[in-house]
Chain A
Amino acid sequence: MSPSREPKHPFATRITRGRVQESIMFGFLRGMTFFVLFCAAFLFWDILSKGASKVFEGDGMLNWEFLTEHPQTLHVIGEGKDEIKLSSSNYFKLKDEKILVKWEEFRQSDEHDQARRGLDKVINLLEREWGDDSLAQSNEDFLNRECDNAANKFSFWKEMLVDVNNTAIDFEMKPEDVPSMVSQFILGHFEMERGRFSLVEEKITLFRAMQYPKIESISLKNAEQIEDAYKLFLSVVPEVYNKSIKLFGREVRSSYDEFMQVEGPKEFGRFAEAIVAYSNVRESFWGKDYESENWESLQASLTPFKRAMNVSLPSRDYAYSGGGIFPAIVGTLLLVIGAMAIAIVLGVFCAIFLAEYGKSGKFLSLVRLAILNLAGVPSIIFGLFGFGLFVIFLDWNVSLLAGWFTLAFMVLPIVITASEEALRSIPQGFRESSLALGATKWTMIKTSVLPFAMPGILTSSILGVARAAGETAPIMFTAAYAKRSELPWEGLEHWTDFFFQGVMALPYHIYVVSAKIPQNAYTADMQYGTAFVFLLLVVGVASLSIILRNRLRRKYRW
């Protein structure tokens, strides 16, 4: 307040506190918003761009295989620029083709003629022996004894194997190393038991026989799986035996040429391997016998054929990184549809009760409180709840049904709240006029409230369910398999089985390929590809619900 100076007019001051604060706040708020925008854009850009390279291959064509096939092991052949990526099925197709080529070459060569003549000679020899009924009988006896024997041994192995498995876990071995350790163990055990060092090699053959085509897909991870493998092996032995009879016995496939005509080279290759394994097993249990000489010459004469079959196609293998995600897409769709149906039915009826019948009171506020709290329960808790109630207590196992109910319960709060709101937004006038025309309360709800509330109910519910379907936690224990080779509609004995089967699901698949298997560039591809498809699916469901709403809105506008 100096009287000497005239006070400046407030407008004349260029910078006031208000203006500074204003511009700081403006910058701050805008920065925050841009940050959010940036994060969202980055998320979409990252997933869409990286995923696109999997879903659309280099030349911009849709990678159809990725959408329509089962997940498979990826086989990578070659290095750098010449690298070829093949899914298991294609890899084995290629291998078969190579075998055929090599086989043709072999057939053209002199070696083939020679080998064939040798084989035919042995076959004739064996045919004479095996054609004899009494010998056939003794062969069958042998087979039975062998199976018993093996079964006995197996129960002993099994106990041991549990130890091995535990040891493997204790030593933090990688799962893929366990089978080889197990086979080492079995071999060592045989060695000890028989006290015959020379048998080791034959047991290796035996173990290879366990990887006979039927069982090649099984990785020997634990005692139960070994047991399955061994049972399969036991079933393979009679098969070999039967083939032998077919080849050498009364059925007239009495020469190599004939066999080739009927069964083809691939079958012959398998047969050759099996017969070798069989003769080895035979010898190991029986010791050398009067037939051994013939078996030995049979083996010897098979060797050239085996060599011709033996094509090596070296590859680096990456689990889960080849093939596609079709079963996961199907599973996710099934989960979404089922959960949606259950949630909407349960939720809408609850909401009708709350909005139309409920008088305000203690009970209602209790229900509201419960719903509110339910909405805040973490999804993993829902998963555990579903696991405890549906999977264990109701004994539904890991199944679609359990997943549906778990997901449905998870979205129930959203559905109820949304439905209640939709119901309340219907003008009171519709209710009153309906009642005034002589409708009962339920008729009134059914004819002049629910239909008009449906657009709102459906959109919010579908959006809610679509969101929940993206959760891994609730389905992890209740519905999802890491890998399943049948599609849900395949191999059902009874139609109800449909509901009691687990399925693959996209979110869980993403989890498996990102957390459960060794990581590399190829698995990353798989992750992004799956995420891409999943994102599109969710966006698709959401837009579907919006389209649905708009159509219904147009129908019922007021």
Chain B
Amino acid sequence: MQEALKATSENSQSLMDSKNNAPSIRIKELDFLYGNNQVIHDVSLDIFPKEVMAFIGPSGCGKSTLLRCLNRMNDLVDGARIGKGSIEIHGVNLHHKSVDVIELRKKVGMVFQKSNPFPKSIYQNVAYGLQIQGIKSKQVVDGKVEESLRKAALWEEVKDRLNENAYGLSGGQQQRLCIARTLAVEPEIILMDEPCSALDPVATGRVEELILELKNEYTIVVVTHNMQQAGRISDRTAFFYLGKLIECDQTKKIFLNPNKQQTEDYISGKFG
């Protein structure tokens, strides 16, 4: 009982924090289209520093699309474009001409659904982001690799086999390696698209623990289909349906007492 109370007070504390802080990411009335197919309709959403934001919603509702807008991964897709509105990080419009995508992506890291380490050694995987920046000093890279692997709670498991192929790791370890790889370039914001969907419960547990730990340093946006997971790890949750943001609130509130009927139906498994 006491613990529950404590948790609640902590939650409200973090809410206070976020209220005080300026939002880290601000999405304003965003429309997004693939060619002529509009997949995001008029979404406005603020994400605050050092919180975990979960995106939920039925398949095809545009969660991944929105997530990929946040570090402009959608630039890769032919014909993908913003219809109206904007995304700002620290007040800078991401889609402005003057924005350097490379720098943006260093600040906004991304972890994908399918763990996809490069078919190289564990060490090379983590060092990759540093090496492409031209950092040659072995000392610096070594230090960074260890630091990142420690943060990703993988160091103990792999410290003796850094030079082995990353595909020798288990699925969960691979996913944590991908997280470590992302941490190595020192992002502020980490985007995760269903990071646990290919993992067994134990591995999922490890990754979730990790996310809770990373929360202290990073702003994290997670897409998930697993309601319990959203409940366990996120501070706030946004529910999307057919490209529209239906509701965004404290996770507890969304799960226990949502404002909208659609949200309740989705969470209670009536559709989706």
Contact = CB atoms under 8 A, between A and B. Distances in A.
Contacts of A436: 71, 73, 105, 109-110, 112, 182
Contact of B105 (A438, A557, A558): A438
Contacts of A437: 105-106, 109, 128-129, 132, 181-182, 185
B255 interface: no
A510 B112 CA distance: 58
What 10 pairs between A and B have smallest CB-CB spacing?
A: A429-B116, A438-B106, A437-B129, A436-B110, A556-B119, A558-B119, A438-B105, A439-B132, A443-B132, A438-B102
Contacts of B110: 432-433, 436
Contacts of B120: 556
A447 interface: yes
Contacts, number: 69
Interface string A429-466: 11111111111100100011000100000000000000
B181 A447 contact: no
B98 interface: no
B133 interface: yes
B167 interface: yes
Given A429-B116, A435-B76, A437-B182, A558 B167 contact: yes
B225 interface: no
A427 interface: yes
A359 interface: yes
Interface string A416-436: 000000000001011111111
Contact of B118 (A359, A438, A440, A448): A448
Contacts of A448: 118, 128
Interface residues of A, number: 23
A198 interface: no
B112 A432 contact: yes
Given A359-B78, A360-B78, A437-B109, 18 more contacts: A430-B116, A433-B110, A433-B178, A435-B73, A436-B71, A436-B110, A436-B182, A437-B106, A437-B128, A437-B132, A438-B103, A438-B106, A438-B133, A439-B102, A447-B128, A447-B131, A556-B119, A557-B167
Nearest to A437: B129
A438 B185 contact: yes
B114 interface: yes
B165 interface: yes
A434 B132 CA distance: 9
Contact of B119 (A359, A432, A439, A452): A452
A447 B132 contact: yes
Interface in A454-488: none
Given A438-B105, A438-B132, A443-B132, A433 B116 contact: yes
Contacts of B165: 557
The winner among A432, A433, A447, A448 for most chain B CB atoms within 10 A is A433
A434 B117 CA distance: 10
Contacts of A434: 118, 128, 132
A435 B105 contact: yes
Contacts of B112: 429, 432-433, 436
B107 to A, nearest CB: 9
